[in-house]
Structure 1
């Protein structure tokens, strides 16, 4: 390990923990104690070395029973389409425009018929009835962004 800094060592350790499994849960304090470093060093390693661009999703829960969960994911091949849709998503979107977007995802084989139908149901006026058209369109936009984010990874 000569020539490696503490961040490299921690990264290597966490990747070894992941090994062939898809996810690992760690305690930031325990890992910091194990490597005799400050907990913020663990945060730094996770924030810079376990990013979505590198194929990882990180979830955390703070507090006494808190944890950090690192998931190994595989990026989909159709990232350009999804990135373009996210970049051009308006803050509010009407139901008809959302239907067109979902049809594009289906036509590009990003989603199957069942996923598309579920998305249409969740985003429908009948489901989202907010009483206020603007609030409904804003909620629909946020939900679409969440759907698009979830599509970035293969399952």
Structure 2
């Protein structure tokens, strides 16, 4: 049996309740009580697993009637979502984050497996080996943003 972390279990639960819906609203404290964790653990899962790079928008409202809304988005159907993704990439992106974006594009059927594999090779540390991680991350961001802009104009 595979050992899953509590973060993995919470992520799977949230994805399950999201199901085929476009969005879900949750109360952080209720989910925390359900899994017997502190509410900040729920924040951590949402912040790290439900990102624009992974195809989600998260909105929250604080206070007594507060909620967290997790919304699944189609990366290329909505120009604002694509712009948000490009803005999140900014001038620099780590290899792991770039790979998450490519994985999401593949899972959302925006790109084929072959296109994804080619993108991963072009964004890899081996391809961008310049002996300076800051410069490498900047090059990776420029290449990834170029890919995304090209996809936007094709679709």
TM-score of the superposition, structure 1-length normalised? 0.50
Q: Considering only aligned residues, what root-mean-square deviation do their CA atoms show, in Å? A: 2.9
Q: Residue 54 in 1 paired to residue 87 in 2?
A: no
The residue that corresponds to 1:110 in the other structure is: none
Measured in 2, the distance between the counterparts of 1:15 and 1:6 equals: 14
The residue that corresponds to 2:115 in the other structure is: none
Kindly report structure 1 stretches of 4+ aligned residues shifted beyond 2 Å.
Answer: 77-80
The residue that corresponds to 1:104 in the other structure is: none
Measured in 1, the distance between the counterparts of 2:6 and 2:53 equals: 22
The residue that corresponds to 2:5 in the other structure is: 5
**Deviations 1:101-134 (CA, angstroms, capped at 9, x unpaired):** xxxxxxxxxxxxxxxxxxxxxxxxxxxxxxxxxx
Q: Residue 30 in 1 paired to residue 30 in 2?
A: yes
Higher relative contact order (CA 8 A, sep 6+): 1
Measured in 1, the distance between the counterparts of 2:55 and 2:49 equals: 10
Post-superposition shift, 1:2?
Answer: 4.5
The residue that corresponds to 2:116 in the other structure is: none
Q: Residue 39 in 1 paired to residue 61 in 2?
A: no
Change (3 A) 1:37 1:83: closer
SS in 2 for 1:10: helix
TM-score of the superposition, structure 2-length normalised? 0.50
Post-superposition shift, 1:83?
Answer: 3.7
Alignment of 1:47-126 (within 5 A): 47-76=47-76, 79=82, 83=86
Alignment coverage as a number of residue pairs: 87
Measured in 2, the distance between the counterparts of 1:16 and 1:53 equals: 19
Measured in 1, the distance between the counterparts of 2:10 and 2:60 equals: 18
**Deviations 1:126-150 (CA, angstroms, capped at 9, x unpaired):** xxxxxxxxxxxxxxxxxxxxxxxxx
The residue that corresponds to 2:17 in the other structure is: 17
Change (3 A) 1:63 1:73: same
Post-superposition shift, 1:69?
Answer: 0.4
Structure 2 gaps, min length 5: 91-151
Structure 1 gaps, min length 5: 88-151
